[in-house]
DNA sequence: TCCATGTTAGTCAAAATGATCAGTGATTCC
DNA sequence: GGAATCACTGATCATTTTGACTAACATGGA
Protein backbone atom coordinates (compact mmCIF):
# COMPACT_ATOMS: atom_id res chain seq x y z
CA UNK A 1 0.00 0.00 0.00
CA UNK A 2 2.04 2.86 1.30
CA UNK A 3 5.44 2.83 -0.32
CA UNK A 4 8.27 3.94 1.94
CA UNK A 5 7.22 7.36 2.93
CA UNK A 6 4.61 6.71 5.59
CA UNK A 7 5.19 8.95 8.56
CA UNK A 8 4.23 7.53 11.93
CA UNK A 9 2.01 9.80 13.96
CA UNK A 10 1.49 10.07 17.65
CA UNK A 11 -1.00 7.20 17.77
CA UNK A 12 1.36 4.88 15.92
CA UNK A 13 4.13 5.67 18.30
CA UNK A 14 1.98 5.11 21.34
CA UNK A 15 0.94 1.74 20.01
CA UNK A 16 4.51 0.72 19.34
CA UNK A 17 5.70 1.79 22.75
CA UNK A 18 2.82 0.01 24.46
CA UNK A 19 3.72 -3.11 22.54
CA UNK A 20 7.26 -2.86 23.86
CA UNK A 21 6.02 -3.02 27.40
CA UNK A 22 3.55 -5.81 26.79
CA UNK A 23 4.25 -7.56 23.51
CA UNK A 24 1.48 -10.14 23.73
CA UNK A 25 -1.38 -7.87 24.68
CA UNK A 26 -4.52 -8.44 22.58
CA UNK A 27 -5.75 -5.66 20.36
CA UNK A 28 -8.79 -5.11 22.51
CA UNK A 29 -6.92 -4.56 25.71
CA UNK A 30 -4.36 -2.44 23.95
CA UNK A 31 -7.14 -0.22 22.68
CA UNK A 32 -8.55 0.12 26.17
CA UNK A 33 -5.18 1.01 27.58
CA UNK A 34 -4.60 3.70 25.00
CA UNK A 35 -8.15 4.97 25.11
CA UNK A 36 -8.86 4.11 21.50
CA UNK A 37 -11.44 2.01 19.73
CA UNK A 38 -10.41 -1.50 18.85
CA UNK A 39 -11.03 -0.85 15.18
CA UNK A 40 -8.63 2.04 15.28
CA UNK A 41 -5.83 0.04 16.82
CA UNK A 42 -6.55 -2.77 14.42
CA UNK A 43 -6.33 -0.45 11.44
CA UNK A 44 -3.15 1.14 12.72
CA UNK A 45 -1.38 -2.12 13.34
CA UNK A 46 -2.35 -3.34 9.93
CA UNK A 47 -1.11 -0.16 8.35
CA UNK A 48 2.12 -0.28 10.30
CA UNK A 49 2.77 -3.78 9.09
CA UNK A 50 2.29 -2.80 5.47
CA UNK A 51 3.81 0.65 5.55
CA UNK A 52 7.41 -0.34 5.20
CA UNK A 53 8.18 1.70 8.28
CA UNK A 54 9.32 -1.35 10.18
CA UNK A 55 12.28 -3.60 9.64
CA UNK A 56 11.64 -7.33 9.47
CA UNK A 57 11.01 -9.07 12.72
CA UNK A 58 14.22 -11.03 12.58
CA UNK A 59 16.23 -7.85 12.78
CA UNK A 60 15.39 -7.98 16.48
CA UNK A 61 17.60 -11.00 16.99
CA UNK A 62 20.65 -10.20 19.03
CA UNK A 63 23.60 -11.79 17.24
CA UNK A 64 24.93 -13.01 20.57
CA UNK A 65 21.95 -15.33 20.83
CA UNK A 66 23.02 -17.16 17.70
CA UNK A 67 26.55 -17.56 18.88
CA UNK A 68 27.95 -14.38 17.39
CA UNK A 69 29.05 -12.66 20.53
CA UNK A 70 31.88 -10.73 18.97
CA UNK A 71 31.09 -7.56 17.12
CA UNK A 72 33.27 -5.28 15.06
CA UNK A 73 33.34 -2.20 12.92
CA UNK A 74 35.24 -2.52 9.70
CA UNK A 75 36.10 0.55 7.71
CA UNK A 76 36.95 -0.07 4.11
CA UNK A 77 38.42 1.88 1.26
CA UNK A 78 37.55 0.87 -2.19
CA UNK A 79 38.14 1.31 -5.84
CA UNK A 80 35.13 3.47 -6.58
CA UNK A 81 34.68 1.99 -10.02
CA UNK A 82 33.87 -1.35 -8.44
CA UNK A 83 31.43 -0.12 -5.84
CA UNK A 84 28.50 -2.23 -6.90
CA UNK A 85 30.60 -5.35 -7.10
CA UNK A 86 31.88 -4.75 -3.62
CA UNK A 87 28.37 -4.29 -2.30
CA UNK A 88 27.20 -7.47 -3.94
CA UNK A 89 30.09 -9.40 -2.48
CA UNK A 90 29.59 -7.95 0.98
CA UNK A 91 25.92 -8.85 0.86
CA UNK A 92 26.88 -12.46 0.50
CA UNK A 93 28.76 -12.52 3.80
CA UNK A 94 26.22 -13.47 6.46
CA UNK A 95 28.29 -11.94 9.21
CA UNK A 96 27.97 -8.52 7.60
CA UNK A 97 24.95 -7.04 9.31
CA UNK A 98 25.06 -3.54 7.94
CA UNK A 99 27.06 -1.33 5.66
CA UNK A 100 26.87 2.41 5.21
CA UNK A 101 28.71 4.90 3.09
CA UNK A 102 29.69 7.94 5.15
CA UNK A 103 30.99 11.21 3.92
CA UNK A 104 34.68 11.61 4.58
CA UNK A 105 37.79 9.49 4.35
CA UNK A 106 36.20 6.12 4.85
CA UNK A 107 34.38 4.73 1.86
CA UNK A 108 32.40 2.07 3.63
CA UNK A 109 31.65 1.41 7.25
CA UNK A 110 30.70 -2.17 7.91
CA UNK A 111 29.16 -3.72 10.95
CA UNK A 112 30.08 -7.35 11.32
CA UNK A 113 29.83 -10.10 13.91
CA UNK A 114 31.71 -13.31 14.61
CA UNK A 115 31.86 -16.24 16.98
CA UNK A 116 35.09 -15.21 18.64
CA UNK A 117 38.16 -13.11 17.91
CA UNK A 118 39.60 -15.86 15.80
CA UNK A 119 36.44 -16.07 13.76
CA UNK A 120 36.46 -12.31 13.47
CA UNK A 121 39.79 -12.55 11.73
CA UNK A 122 38.24 -14.89 9.19
CA UNK A 123 35.28 -12.59 8.61
CA UNK A 124 37.56 -9.63 8.37
CA UNK A 125 39.58 -11.41 5.72
CA UNK A 126 36.47 -12.25 3.77
CA UNK A 127 35.60 -8.61 3.73
CA UNK A 128 39.06 -7.56 2.71
CA UNK A 129 39.00 -9.98 -0.20
CA UNK A 130 35.81 -8.58 -1.68
CA UNK A 131 36.36 -7.31 -5.22
CA UNK A 132 36.85 -3.57 -5.26
CA UNK A 133 37.91 -3.32 -1.66
CA UNK A 134 41.45 -2.09 -1.41
CA UNK A 135 42.05 -1.66 2.28
CA UNK A 136 40.24 -2.42 5.51
CA UNK A 137 40.67 -1.62 9.15
CA UNK A 138 38.88 -3.72 11.72
CA UNK A 139 38.06 -2.59 15.22
CA UNK A 140 36.59 -5.03 17.61
CA UNK A 141 33.81 -3.63 19.75
CA UNK A 142 34.79 -3.81 23.38
CA UNK A 143 31.58 -2.62 24.91
CA UNK A 144 28.03 -1.99 23.84
CA UNK A 145 27.66 1.32 25.57
CA UNK A 146 24.14 2.06 24.36
CA UNK A 147 22.53 -0.91 22.66
CA UNK A 148 20.51 0.00 19.61
CA UNK A 149 17.24 1.64 20.57
CA UNK A 150 14.54 3.84 19.19
CA UNK A 151 12.54 4.10 22.37
CA UNK A 152 13.98 7.44 23.33
CA UNK A 153 13.28 8.80 19.87
CA UNK A 154 9.70 7.56 19.85
CA UNK A 155 9.08 8.95 23.29
CA UNK A 156 10.66 12.23 22.48
CA UNK A 157 8.30 13.04 19.67
CA UNK A 158 5.26 12.58 21.86
CA UNK B 1 13.11 -17.23 32.88
CA UNK B 2 16.21 -17.52 30.77
CA UNK B 3 18.56 -14.66 31.51
CA UNK B 4 20.59 -13.45 28.53
CA UNK B 5 22.36 -16.54 27.45
CA UNK B 6 19.70 -18.45 25.58
CA UNK B 7 21.03 -19.74 22.31
CA UNK B 8 18.57 -19.97 19.46
CA UNK B 9 18.49 -23.33 17.80
CA UNK B 10 17.51 -24.33 14.32
CA UNK B 11 13.80 -24.42 15.12
CA UNK B 12 13.87 -20.95 16.60
CA UNK B 13 15.57 -19.60 13.55
CA UNK B 14 13.13 -21.24 11.21
CA UNK B 15 10.26 -19.74 13.12
CA UNK B 16 11.78 -16.29 13.01
CA UNK B 17 12.50 -16.46 9.32
CA UNK B 18 9.00 -17.73 8.58
CA UNK B 19 7.61 -14.82 10.55
CA UNK B 20 9.61 -12.45 8.39
CA UNK B 21 7.92 -13.72 5.30
CA UNK B 22 4.45 -13.75 6.80
CA UNK B 23 4.32 -11.72 9.98
CA UNK B 24 0.64 -12.23 10.77
CA UNK B 25 0.42 -15.95 10.22
CA UNK B 26 -1.42 -17.72 13.03
CA UNK B 27 0.51 -20.16 15.19
CA UNK B 28 -1.42 -23.09 13.82
CA UNK B 29 -0.63 -22.41 10.21
CA UNK B 30 2.95 -21.58 11.06
CA UNK B 31 3.28 -24.96 12.71
CA UNK B 32 1.87 -26.67 9.65
CA UNK B 33 4.25 -24.85 7.39
CA UNK B 34 7.27 -25.79 9.45
CA UNK B 35 6.11 -29.34 10.05
CA UNK B 36 5.84 -28.89 13.80
CA UNK B 37 3.09 -29.33 16.33
CA UNK B 38 1.24 -26.21 17.31
CA UNK B 39 2.22 -26.68 20.92
CA UNK B 40 5.86 -26.70 19.97
CA UNK B 41 5.66 -23.47 18.04
CA UNK B 42 3.64 -21.94 20.84
CA UNK B 43 6.25 -22.92 23.39
CA UNK B 44 9.07 -21.64 21.21
CA UNK B 45 7.48 -18.29 20.58
CA UNK B 46 6.81 -17.87 24.25
CA UNK B 47 10.36 -18.76 25.09
CA UNK B 48 11.73 -16.45 22.45
CA UNK B 49 9.74 -13.59 23.88
CA UNK B 50 11.09 -14.17 27.37
CA UNK B 51 14.60 -15.20 26.51
CA UNK B 52 16.06 -11.77 26.07
CA UNK B 53 17.35 -12.84 22.69
CA UNK B 54 15.23 -10.25 20.93
CA UNK B 55 15.37 -6.50 21.00
CA UNK B 56 12.15 -4.64 21.73
CA UNK B 57 9.67 -4.39 18.94
CA UNK B 58 10.10 -0.68 18.55
CA UNK B 59 13.69 -1.17 17.51
CA UNK B 60 12.21 -2.15 14.17
CA UNK B 61 11.10 1.39 13.47
CA UNK B 62 13.04 2.98 10.69
CA UNK B 63 14.03 6.45 11.88
CA UNK B 64 13.06 7.85 8.50
CA UNK B 65 9.46 7.02 9.25
CA UNK B 66 9.45 9.36 12.20
CA UNK B 67 10.98 12.18 10.26
CA UNK B 68 14.59 11.40 10.99
CA UNK B 69 15.81 10.78 7.49
CA UNK B 70 19.35 11.91 8.08
CA UNK B 71 21.76 9.52 9.69
CA UNK B 72 25.29 9.98 10.90
CA UNK B 73 28.21 8.34 12.58
CA UNK B 74 29.88 10.37 15.27
CA UNK B 75 33.20 9.31 16.63
CA UNK B 76 34.11 10.78 19.96
CA UNK B 77 37.16 11.00 22.12
CA UNK B 78 36.70 11.36 25.79
CA UNK B 79 38.27 11.94 29.11
CA UNK B 80 38.31 8.35 30.29
CA UNK B 81 37.74 9.31 33.89
CA UNK B 82 34.33 10.65 32.95
CA UNK B 83 33.19 7.71 30.89
CA UNK B 84 30.07 6.91 32.85
CA UNK B 85 28.96 10.53 32.91
CA UNK B 86 29.36 10.73 29.18
CA UNK B 87 27.31 7.60 28.68
CA UNK B 88 24.57 8.90 30.91
CA UNK B 89 24.46 12.17 29.03
CA UNK B 90 24.44 10.47 25.65
CA UNK B 91 21.60 8.23 26.75
CA UNK B 92 19.48 11.30 27.28
CA UNK B 93 19.76 12.38 23.67
CA UNK B 94 16.88 10.74 21.82
CA UNK B 95 18.63 11.04 18.50
CA UNK B 96 21.46 8.83 19.71
CA UNK B 97 20.38 5.38 18.63
CA UNK B 98 23.45 3.42 19.53
CA UNK B 99 26.88 3.82 20.98
CA UNK B 100 29.73 1.36 21.03
CA UNK B 101 33.27 1.44 22.35
CA UNK B 102 35.67 0.04 19.77
CA UNK B 103 39.26 -0.89 20.29
CA UNK B 104 41.59 1.63 18.70
CA UNK B 105 41.88 5.37 18.43
CA UNK B 106 38.22 6.21 18.71
CA UNK B 107 36.80 6.03 22.19
CA UNK B 108 33.15 5.99 21.27
CA UNK B 109 31.34 5.41 18.03
CA UNK B 110 27.87 6.87 18.03
CA UNK B 111 25.03 6.31 15.63
CA UNK B 112 22.70 9.28 15.49
CA UNK B 113 19.82 10.53 13.38
CA UNK B 114 18.32 13.91 12.62
CA UNK B 115 15.61 15.61 10.64
CA UNK B 116 17.92 17.22 8.13
CA UNK B 117 21.53 18.35 7.86
CA UNK B 118 20.79 21.43 9.87
CA UNK B 119 19.24 19.38 12.62
CA UNK B 120 22.19 17.05 12.46
CA UNK B 121 24.40 19.95 13.36
CA UNK B 122 22.31 20.54 16.47
CA UNK B 123 22.44 16.87 17.48
CA UNK B 124 26.13 16.80 16.79
CA UNK B 125 26.59 19.77 19.09
CA UNK B 126 24.56 18.14 21.82
CA UNK B 127 26.85 15.17 21.64
CA UNK B 128 29.97 17.28 21.66
CA UNK B 129 28.78 19.08 24.78
CA UNK B 130 28.30 15.93 26.81
CA UNK B 131 30.45 15.97 29.93
CA UNK B 132 33.60 13.97 29.42
CA UNK B 133 33.55 14.21 25.66
CA UNK B 134 36.56 16.13 24.43
CA UNK B 135 36.36 15.90 20.68
CA UNK B 136 33.94 14.62 18.09
CA UNK B 137 33.94 14.01 14.40
CA UNK B 138 30.65 13.68 12.59
CA UNK B 139 30.18 11.94 9.29
CA UNK B 140 26.85 12.08 7.60
CA UNK B 141 25.78 8.83 6.05
CA UNK B 142 25.34 9.27 2.34
CA UNK B 143 23.98 5.89 1.50
CA UNK B 144 22.61 2.89 3.31
CA UNK B 145 24.51 0.31 1.34
CA UNK B 146 23.27 -2.70 3.27
CA UNK B 147 20.44 -1.88 5.65
CA UNK B 148 20.67 -3.64 8.97
CA UNK B 149 19.76 -7.29 8.62
CA UNK B 150 20.17 -10.59 10.36
CA UNK B 151 18.41 -12.65 7.76
CA UNK B 152 21.60 -13.79 6.11
CA UNK B 153 23.05 -14.77 9.45
CA UNK B 154 19.97 -16.73 10.48
CA UNK B 155 19.83 -18.48 7.15
CA UNK B 156 23.50 -19.24 7.16
CA UNK B 157 23.37 -21.23 10.36
CA UNK B 158 20.69 -23.52 9.03
C1' DT C 1 -20.78 23.65 1.73
C1' DC C 2 -19.51 19.06 0.36
C1' DC C 3 -16.11 15.43 0.39
C1' DA C 4 -12.57 12.53 2.14
C1' DT C 5 -10.56 10.63 5.94
C1' DG C 6 -10.12 8.79 10.48
C1' DT C 7 -12.42 7.77 14.46
C1' DT C 8 -15.87 5.51 17.55
C1' DA C 9 -18.95 1.91 18.90
C1' DG C 10 -21.40 -1.99 18.04
C1' DT C 11 -22.49 -6.69 16.02
C1' DC C 12 -21.45 -11.38 14.10
C1' DA C 13 -19.64 -15.95 13.01
C1' DA C 14 -15.35 -18.08 12.48
C1' DA C 15 -11.01 -18.86 14.14
C1' DA C 16 -7.20 -18.86 17.19
C1' DT C 17 -5.60 -19.10 21.76
C1' DG C 18 -3.81 -20.89 26.14
C1' DA C 19 -4.09 -24.76 29.01
C1' DT C 20 -4.11 -29.26 29.43
C1' DC C 21 -2.81 -34.31 28.99
C1' DA C 22 -0.79 -38.81 27.73
C1' DG C 23 2.33 -41.09 24.67
C1' DT C 24 6.95 -41.20 22.42
C1' DG C 25 11.69 -40.65 21.33
C1' DA C 26 16.30 -38.89 22.58
C1' DT C 27 19.67 -37.76 25.91
C1' DT C 28 21.89 -37.71 30.13
C1' DC C 29 23.23 -39.53 34.38
C1' DC C 30 23.65 -43.02 37.80
C1' DG D 1 21.18 -51.44 31.87
C1' DG D 2 17.74 -48.48 33.78
C1' DA D 3 15.78 -44.11 35.53
C1' DA D 4 15.04 -39.51 34.93
C1' DT D 5 14.73 -35.57 32.16
C1' DC D 6 13.46 -33.06 28.29
C1' DA D 7 11.27 -31.74 23.95
C1' DC D 8 7.96 -32.93 20.63
C1' DT D 9 3.51 -34.74 19.14
C1' DG D 10 -1.39 -34.92 18.65
C1' DA D 11 -5.48 -34.32 20.89
C1' DT D 12 -9.18 -32.06 23.52
C1' DC D 13 -11.44 -28.11 25.90
C1' DA D 14 -13.65 -23.61 27.07
C1' DT D 15 -12.60 -18.97 26.38
C1' DT D 16 -11.12 -15.25 23.79
C1' DT D 17 -9.82 -12.87 19.89
C1' DT D 18 -10.11 -11.86 15.34
C1' DG D 19 -11.53 -9.91 10.91
C1' DA D 20 -15.23 -7.95 8.53
C1' DC D 21 -19.08 -5.08 8.64
C1' DT D 22 -22.02 -1.66 10.01
C1' DA D 23 -23.53 3.43 11.03
C1' DA D 24 -22.60 7.68 13.13
C1' DC D 25 -19.60 11.39 14.22
C1' DA D 26 -15.66 14.72 13.93
C1' DT D 27 -12.21 17.00 11.42
C1' DG D 28 -9.92 19.40 7.82
C1' DG D 29 -9.42 20.57 2.95
C1' DA D 30 -11.17 21.80 -1.62
Task: Name the residue among A43, A47, A44 with its Cα closest to residue A14.
Answer: A44
Mean pLDDT score across all residues of chain B: 94
Establish whether the CB of A37 is closer than 7 Å to any nucleic acid atom in strand C: yes
CB atoms within 10 A of CB B10: 10
Is B17 close to A58, i.e. CB distance below 8 A? yes
- Residue B2's pLDDT is 39
**Close Cβ partners of B65 (under 8 Å, ≥ 6 residues apart):** A6, A7, A8, A51, A52, A53, A54
- Residue A1's pLDDT is 37
Angle at Cα A39 formed by Cα A33 and Cα A41, nearest 5°? 45
A1 touches chain B (CB under 8 A): no
- Residue B1's pLDDT is 38
- Residue A29's pLDDT is 95
Report the share of chain B in percent with pLDDT over 70: 96
Q: Where are the alpha helices (DSSP H) in B22-140?
A: 27-34, 38-51, 83-91, 117-128
**Close Cβ partners of B34 (under 8 Å, ≥ 6 residues apart):** B11, B14, B15, B18, B41
Establish whether the CB of A35 is closer than 7 Å to any nucleic acid atom in strand C: yes
- Residue A44 CA to residue A35 CA, distance in Å, equals 14
Mean pLDDT across B94-118: 96
- Residue A5's pLDDT is 67
Residue-range domains of chain A with CATH: 10-54 (1.10.10), 63-140 (3.30.70.920)
pLDDT digits (tens, 9 = 90+) for A101-147: 999 988 999 999 999 999 999 999 999 999 999 999 999 999 999 99
**B:114-153 residues touching chain A, CB 8 A cutoff:** 139-153
The bridge status of strand A133-146 relative to strand A96-102 is: unpaired
A2 confidence band (pLDDT: 50, 70, 90): very low
- Residue A157's pLDDT is 77
Q: How far apart are the first and last CA of chain B?
A: 26
Amino acid sequence: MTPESYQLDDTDRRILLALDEDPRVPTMMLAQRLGLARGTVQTRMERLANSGALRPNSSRVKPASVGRGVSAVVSAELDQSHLEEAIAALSLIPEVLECVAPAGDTDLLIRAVAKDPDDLYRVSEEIRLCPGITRTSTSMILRDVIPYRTTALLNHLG
